[in-house]
Amino acid sequence: MAANELLFLPLGGLGGIGKNCTVLEYEGEILVIDVGIEFPSEEMFGVDVVIPDFGYLVENQERIRGIVVTHGHEDHIGGLPFLLDRISAPVYATPLTRGLIEVKLNAEQLRRAQLQTILAGQTARMGQFEVTPFHVNHSIPDAVGLAIRTPAGLVVHTGDFKIDHTPVEGEPADLGQLARLSAEGVLLLLSDSTNAETPGYTLSESRLRDTFERVFAHADGRIIVATFASLLSRIQMVIETAAAYGRKVAVAGRSMEQNTAIAQRLGYLHWPADTQVPLSAVNDLPDEQVVIIATGSQGEINSALARMASGRFREVRIREGDTVLISAKAIPGNETAIHRNVDNLFRRGADVVYGPPAGLHVSGHAAQEELKFILNLLRPVYFVPVHGAYRMLVHHARLAHELGMPPENVFVLDNGDRLYLSLEGAHLGEPIPAEGVMVDGDTVGDVGPSILRDRLTLAQDGVVVAKVAVDGRTGKVARQPEIVAHGFVYLPEAAELIDAANAEVVQVVEAYQGGSQGYDANQMSLIVERRLGSFFRSQTGRNPVIVAVVSVV
Nearer to its own copies, 473 or 490 (CB): 490
CB of 357 to its own copies, least distance (A): 6
Nearer to its own copies, 409 or 457 (CB): 457
Identify whether 192 is a catalytic site residue: yes
What are the residues facing 353 on neighbouring strands?
325
Nearer to its own copies, 346 or 512 (CB): 346
CA atoms within 13 A on the CB side of 286: 6
CB-based burial, 112-122: b 16+ in 10 Å, e otherwise: bbebeebebee
Nearer to its own copies, 488 or 535 (CB): 488
Which segments within 201-247 are labelled E, that is strand?
223-226
Cβ proximity of 76 and 194 under 8 Å = no
How far apart, in whole angstroms, are the C-alpha atoms of residue 104 and residue 91? 13
Name the catalytic one among 73, 365, 395, 396. Answer: 365
CB of 463 to its own copies, least distance (A): 5
CB of 121 to its own copies, least distance (A): 37
Name the catalytic one among 164, 192, 417, 440. Answer: 192
Cβ proximity of 383 and 191 under 8 Å = yes
> Side by side, which strands form the sheet with 29-33?
116-117, 91-93, 64-68, 29-33, 21-26, 6-12, 418-422, 425-429
Rounded (5°) CA angle 292-337-81: 75
CB-based burial, 505-526: b 16+ in 10 Å, e otherwise: beebbeebeeeeeebbeeebbe
Please give the backbone phi and psi of residue 269, each rounded to the nearest 5 degrees, phi first. -145, 130
Cβ proximity of 411 and 383 under 8 Å = yes
How far apart, in whole angstroms, are the C-alpha atoms of residue 53 and residue 448? 13
CB of 401 to its own copies, least distance (A): 13
Nearer to its own copies, 279 or 506 (CB): 506
Pairing of strands 382-386, 418-422: unpaired
CB of 104 to its own copies, least distance (A): 18
CB of 485 to its own copies, least distance (A): 9
At a CB cut-off of 8 Å and minimum separation 6, what does 453 contact? none
CB of 163 to its own copies, least distance (A): 21
Nearer to its own copies, 408 or 493 (CB): 493
Interface with its own copies by CB under 8 A: which residues? 15, 41-42, 45-46, 197-199, 332-333, 335-336, 339, 342-343, 346-347, 352, 355, 357, 389-391, 394, 440-443, 446-448, 450-452, 454-463, 465, 467, 469, 484, 486-490, 493-494, 539-542, 545, 547, 549, 551, 553
Short-list 17, 18, 47, CA closest to 445: 47
**Which DSSP string corresponds to 352-407?**
EE-SGGGT----SS--HHHHHHHHHHH--SEEEEESB-HHHHHHHHHHHHHTT--G
Nearer to its own copies, 95 or 487 (CB): 487
CB of 524 to its own copies, least distance (A): 13
Identify whether 322 is a catalytic site residue: no
Nearer to its own copies, 355 or 533 (CB): 355
Q: Which residues are part of the catalytic machinery?
A: 192, 365
